[in-house]
Amino acid sequence: MAEIVLDKVSKRYPDGALAVSEVDVSIADGEFVILVGPSGCGKSTTLNMIAGLEDITGGELRIGGKRMNERAPKDRDIAMVFQSYALYPHMTVRENMAFPLRLAKMDDAVVKAKVEEAAQILDLTAHLDRRPANLSGGQRQRVAMGRAIVRSPKAFLMDEPLSNLDAKLRGQMRTSVSRLQKQLGTTTVYVTHDQTEAMTLGDRVVVLRGGVVQQIGAPQFLYDHPVNLFVAGFIGAPSMNFLPATLSEGALATPLGQVTLTDRVRRAAEAADAPREVIMGVRPEHFEDAALVDPTALARGATFDAHVEVLESMGAEKYAYFSVEGGEVHASDLADLAADAGSAGVPDTGSQVVTRLSAVSTAAEGQPTKFWFDADQVQLFDPASGANLTYMAD
Amino acid sequence: MAVLTTGKRVRWTVIDVIVVVYALVPVLWTLSLSFKSKATIGDGYFIPQEWSFQSYLDIFQTNDFLLALVNSIGISLIATAVAVVLGTMAAYAIARLDFPGKAALVGFSLLVAMFPQVSLVSPLFSIERSLNLFDTWPGLILPYITFALPLAIYTLSAFFREIPWELEKAAKMDGATPGQAFRRVIAPLAAPGVFTTAILVFIFCWNDFLFAISLTATTRSRTVPAALQFFTGASQFEDPTGQICAAAVVITIPIVLFVLFFQRRIVAGLTSGAVKG
């Protein structure tokens, strides 16, 4: 048990490429922190630097108050779960889990007891004498977890540990990872690409982009108050809709029509000295079928007509997609996100808007529908810097 | 699996038979000659008309052959052991580490492998003469190691590259020193590669004739392939064909045993299950 402090930690490769730039994170004892970001953002490099598998080229790493930069991985007393599990194929499950204890020269009786206790926790008792090759993906994942927990390290590092599992198993393992971490109360740093894991698992989320920390905070806070376009676009699935808009005297001219700003949004925009041309961000759930909105709420937002192109009925809710003329936005933050999602090369069909509607909505594919969105939930971004003009750090 | 039509099956059978016959006829012929009696050795029959073990008895009665056999076994085993140990360490470094001069090392070892050995015989002869290595075991072991190492390094580095690097990282995280990670995780997984390499190197040393004939002079260090050349019959008018064939069969046996013994350990897919495949 220990706190992990990254004090301006940087990683520069010999060829000059800067993979991680001055990351400042202080992870409290027992905290579960998620590192998230698109591929190549430096999240795995950061984790490897904490582990000691990669050298730190700048800054200081402290675990439990002690400088760790020069210590070998084995002297840091932290355990790691790899994306590929990295089980030793020539050893049985029991030997795999006992390996760290054997290296620590523990008594046979202690090793046996600890391995069996870990196997009990992870429901692996029946598989202790099998080899990794004969286990299913989920079982291998649990063995990898077992090897990490068996020696009660100061911290766990997990590098996308669930990404090789199929969707259903991933859901189950996600809850069991969360439960296990709470039960053991061990400081955990968890790298993921997965939206759901980032939102549900961590106490705090660190969003990285190109080796630079964008924002650190509780998952819900990041969702509600993204600090810039990148975080806004990255956190949340389906992601936030972005449309160009023009600010003038308390109103916002958007491709969806004229929107009267609420006091909260106007004051924030004034405080941030917003430019005239901005980018408006609206989350899918802040749209609704206008027919289902009560009149007081209807007055608070804006209504517009759109032609529903695709309607996905999920049972509990419906996703309606339509495109907006003149709705393209251009910002480097969004270009990065598109590149990561692999949609950079997809032919532009104008700007597509995703809305989440109530399941009782009668909207139908190919039909014009009257939509409403909540003007109080609108976020405004500076197109040049990407900064959130309505951000409030409360 | 593709369905085999009758025509295809026949074609493949014919091709298989041709290949097997082509490869095995000289071996079987040698075997047949070794079992023929002196009188029938030139009769031209493929299967001996009259079975005789006289040739085998003859070669084991001469001291020359037994000494040569001891030399062959000793020199080949020592050279194999040294080449495999050095090769394992070099191949591991090449597959895993980045160090200055790595490309030069790989290129240089390839150069050694390509160098025509026959052009080195005369200089080696002179060097060994002045170093008092001529006609000694080290005199053969050293050149064998030199020429077997590139082979060992290339084969082994291919095996090392296949072992997932994450296993080593995992071992380090579990508290292993680099040495422990190598001994307890990497080496056991590389074992099939090490055995394969050992077989190849052993065969290379065992079969060598060029160095054996050039760098030896007496039974002190002469190996079997060279010793065969010095076989004579009981009198100078006698033809030692039978004995040579018997000796050839005898020296083939260790190779066959070596391969059969180690083949079981060359299990493909030993690393399956380490990482998601």
Instruction: State how far the Cα of A91 lies from the Cα of A132, in Å rounded to an integer.
Output: 8
Helices (H) and strands (E) in chain A, counts: 11, 21
Q: Please, what is the angle between helix A137-149 and helix A108-122, to 10°? A: 130
Alpha helices in A85-166 (DSSP H): 93-103, 108-122, 137-149
Q: How far is B275 from chain A (nearest CA, A)?
A: 5
Q: Where does residue B229 rank: exposed (0-12), middle (13-18), buried (19+ CB within 10 A)?
A: exposed
Instruction: State how far the Cα of A44 lies from the Cα of A41, in Å rounded to an integer.
Output: 8
Q: Which two tokens stand for residue B63?
A: 């001291």
pLDDT digits (tens, 9 = 90+) for B175-217: 999 889 888 998 888 888 888 888 889 888 998 999 999 999 8
Task: Report pLDDT for B42.
Answer: 77
pLDDT band per the 50, 70, 90 thresholds, residue B14: very high
Instruction: State how far the Cα of A59 lies from the Cα of A295, in Å rounded to an integer.
Output: 56
* Of the partner residues B176, B180, B270, the one whose CB lies closest to the CB of residue A90: B270
Instruction: State how far the Cα of A352 lies from the Cα of A328, in Å rounded to an integer.
Output: 9
Contact yes or no for A82/A140 (Cβ under 8 A): no
Prior bond of B138 cis (ω within 30°): no
Query: pTM to 2 decimals?
Result: 0.78
Closest by Cα among A230, A210, A214 to A17: A210
E strand or H helix at A6: strand A4-12
Q: Where does residue B144 rank: exposed (0-12), middle (13-18), buried (19+ CB within 10 A)?
A: buried
Q: Answer whether B273 sits within 8 Å of A89, measured CB to CB.
A: yes
Q: Which two tokens stand for residue A294?
A: 């009560």
Considering only residues B189 and B11, tell me which one the structure prediction assigns the higher pLDDT: B11
SS (H, E, C) A200-223: HHCCEEEEEECCEEEEEECHHHHH
- Three-state DSSP class for residue A72: coil
Q: Answer whether B173 sits within 8 Å of A78, measured CB to CB.
A: yes
Q: In chain A, positions 340-369, which contact chain B (CB-CB < 8 Å)?
A: none
Q: Answer whether B170 sits within 8 Å of A88, measured CB to CB.
A: yes
Q: Answer whether A135 sits within 8 Å of B273, measured CB to CB.
A: yes
Instruction: State how far the Cα of B64 lies from the Cα of B244, in Å rounded to an integer.
Output: 12
Task: Report pLDDT for A150.
Answer: 92
Contact yes or no for A227/A239 (Cβ under 8 A): no
Task: Report which residue type is found at A17.
Answer: A
- Three-state DSSP class for residue A366: coil
Closest chain B CA to residue A133 = B273
Instruction: State how far the Cα of B127 lies from the Cα of B118, in Å rounded to an integer.
Output: 15
pLDDT band per the 50, 70, 90 thresholds, residue B173: very high
Instruction: State how far the Cα of A219 lies from the Cα of A237, in Å rounded to an integer.
Output: 13
User: What b/e sequence results for B192-207 when a residue is b if at least 16 CB atoms lie within 10 Å of its CB, and e otherwise?
Assistant: bbbbbbbbbbbbbbbb
| Mutation to test the A interface, candidates B173, B177, B180, B186, most A Cβ within 10 Å | B173
Count CB neighbours of A173 within 10 A: 20
- Three-state DSSP class for residue B223: coil
Task: Report which residue type is found at B83.
Answer: A
A138 touches chain B (CB under 8 A): no
A79 touches chain B (CB under 8 A): yes
Instruction: State how far the Cα of B8 lies from the Cα of A392, in Å rounded to an integer.
Output: 77
Q: How far is A112 from chain B (nearest CA, A)?
A: 17
Q: How far is A86 from chain B (nearest CA, A)?
A: 5
CA distances from B244 to A81, A208, B27 (A): 62, 75, 13
pLDDT band per the 50, 70, 90 thresholds, residue B269: very low
Task: Report pLDDT for A108.
Answer: 93
CB < 8 Å to B175, chain A:
74, 100, 103-104, 151
Sheet holding A277-282, edge to edge: A257-260, A251-254, A241-248, A277-282, A379-381
Instruction: State how far the Cα of B81 lies from the Cα of B205, in Å rounded to an integer.
Output: 11
In tens digits, chain A (394 residues) has pLDDT values of: 589 999 999 999 989 889 999 999 999 999 999 999 888 889 999 999 999 999 999 999 999 999 999 999 989 999 999 999 999 998 999 999 999 999 999 999 999 999 999 999 899 999 999 999 899 988 999 999 999 999 899 999 999 999 888 888 888 889 999 999 999 999 999 999 888 888 999 999 999 998 999 999 999 999 999 999 999 988 888 889 999 999 887 788 888 888 888 888 888 888 888 888 999 999 999 999 998 988 888 888 889 999 999 999 999 999 999 988 877 787 777 777 777 766 555 554 457 899 999 999 888 888 889 999 998 889 999 988 888 988 876 5
Distance of CA B269 to the CA centre of its chain: 24
Count CB neighbours of A167 within 10 A: 7
CB < 8 Å to B277, chain A:
none
* Of the partner residues A74, A99, A157, the one whose CB lies closest to the CB of residue B177: A74
* Of the partner residues A82, A90, A137, the one whose CB lies closest to the CB of residue B189: A90
Instruction: State how far the Cα of A373 lies from the Cα of A369, in Å rounded to an integer.
Output: 13
Q: Answer whether B167 sits within 8 Å of A86, measured CB to CB.
A: yes
pLDDT digits (tens, 9 = 90+) for A221-243: 999 999 999 999 888 888 899 99
* Of the partner residues B175, B176, B274, the one whose CB lies closest to the CB of residue A87: B274
Please determine, for residue B250, whether its predicted confidence score (pLDDT) is greater than 60: yes
Closest by Cα among A321, A316, A306, A388 to A354: A321
Task: Report pLDDT for A342.
Answer: 62
B190 touches chain A (CB under 8 A): no
CA distances from A351 to A228, A256, A323, A385 (A): 20, 12, 5, 21
Distance of CA B106 to the CA centre of its chain: 22
CA-based R_g, chain A, Å: 24
CA distances from A193 to A37, A190, A209, A224, B19 (A): 6, 10, 12, 20, 55
CB < 8 Å to A78, chain B:
173
Closest by Cα among A392, A303, A294, A391 to A355: A303
Alpha helices in chain A (DSSP H): 43-51, 93-103, 108-122, 137-149, 167-184, 195-201, 219-224, 229-234, 263-271, 295-300, 332-341
Closest chain A CA to residue B186 = A88
What's the length of chain B? 277
Contacts by A293-299, CB closer than 8 A, 24 or more apart: A293/A372, A297/A372, A297/A374, A298/A372
Q: Answer whether B273 sits within 8 Å of A79, measured CB to CB.
A: no
pLDDT band per the 50, 70, 90 thresholds, residue B237: low
Closest chain B CA to residue A164 = B276
Average pLDDT over residues B23-35: 90
Q: In chain B, positions 137-176, which contact chain A (CB-CB < 8 Å)?
A: 164, 166-167, 169-176
Count CB neighbours of A116 within 10 A: 16
Which residues 6+ apart lie within 8 Å of A365 measured at CB?
A: A308, A309, A310, A311
Task: Report which residue type is found at A289.
Answer: D
Instruction: State how far the Cα of B126 lies from the Cα of A126, in Å rounded to an integer.
Output: 68
Contact yes or no for A257/A243 (Cβ under 8 A): no
